[in-house]
Amino acid sequence: MSHSKTYLEQAAQIANSIDHQLMERMVDELVSLRTRDGRLFLLGVGGSAGNCSHAVNDFRKLAGIEAYSPCDNVSELTARTNDEGWATVFEAWLKVSRANSKDAIFVMSVGGGNAEKNVSPNLVKALDEAKKRGMKIFGIVGRDGGHTKKVGDFVVVVPTVDANAVTPHSESFQAVVWHGLVSHPKLMQQANKWEGLEKK
């Protein structure tokens, strides 16, 4: 069997294993977030940071949620990294944003952060800061979910079906899940451009 066929079959297997009931609960909580005028802070590194930027657009434009990602401000991100260190960049960003219990964070990560192994310590510290502030914690993560799964409220774990493809599957399904959220009839306030054209 070719790599491409195997990859797509694995993707189908993952899609059938995602907790769709959890996604429904995530939608309900995101609606509550919007209703109480809370903000949504999306955190991720590497490819997940790129996904966070895309998701910020969708949550703002399609769902009407005030959403932000620290990775979208390269100057602040790199200044904090240079001056205070990589491990505290997201924690410090939440503090200066005056994040509070009306708000929520949404972590996208392959491993979810692990303090013991010093993997994505910036996510770990941000998660702990969010808990201190009484924020709801969302996540889409791979592997065992890491610290995000441990402390989070609504965390989709992308199952591992191939140990050699954890990263591509995890990052791909971040997009699948968040698009499922923002296109949900309960959450979506503005139609996508092409779907809107089809109805005219």
pLDDT tens per residue across span 55-106: 999 999 999 999 999 999 999 999 999 999 999 999 999 999 999 999 999 9
Question: Is the distance from CB of 33 to CB of 104 less than 8 angstroms?
Answer: yes
Q: What integer pLDDT is reported at residue 143 of this predicted model?
A: 95
Q: Which strands, in side-by-side order, build the sheet including 154-157?
A: 66-68, 39-43, 104-109, 136-141, 154-157
Q: Return the ∠ at Cα 84 (arms to 83 and 86), rounded to 5°.
A: 105
Whether the predicted pLDDT of 49 surpasses 80: yes
**Cα dihedral sign, 187-38-149-44:** positive
Q: What is the pLDDT of residue 188?
A: 96
Query: Which of residues 188 and 197 earns the better pLDDT score?
Result: 188
Q: What is the pLDDT of residues 169-184, one digit of tens each?
A: 999 999 999 999 999 9
Q: What CA–CA distance (Å, rounded) separates 166 from 176?
A: 15
pLDDT band at 153 (very low <50, low <70, confident <90, very high): very high
Closest CA to 50 of 63, 35, 69: 69
50, pLDDT greater than 80: yes
Q: What is the pLDDT of residue 197?
A: 77
The mean per-residue pLDDT over the stretch 43-59 comes to 98
Fill in the amino acid letter for 29: E
pTM of the model: 0.95
Model pLDDT, residue 193: 84
Enter the CATH code of domain 19-191. 3.40.50.10490
Please tell me the predicted confidence (pLDDT) of residue 199: 65
Beta bridge partners of 155: 139
- 107-125 per-position pLDDT tens digit: 999 999 998 898 999 999 9
Q: Domain locations in the chain?
A: 19-191
Count the helices and strands in the chain (H runs, E runs).
Answer: 9, 5
Q: What is the pLDDT of residue 89?
A: 97
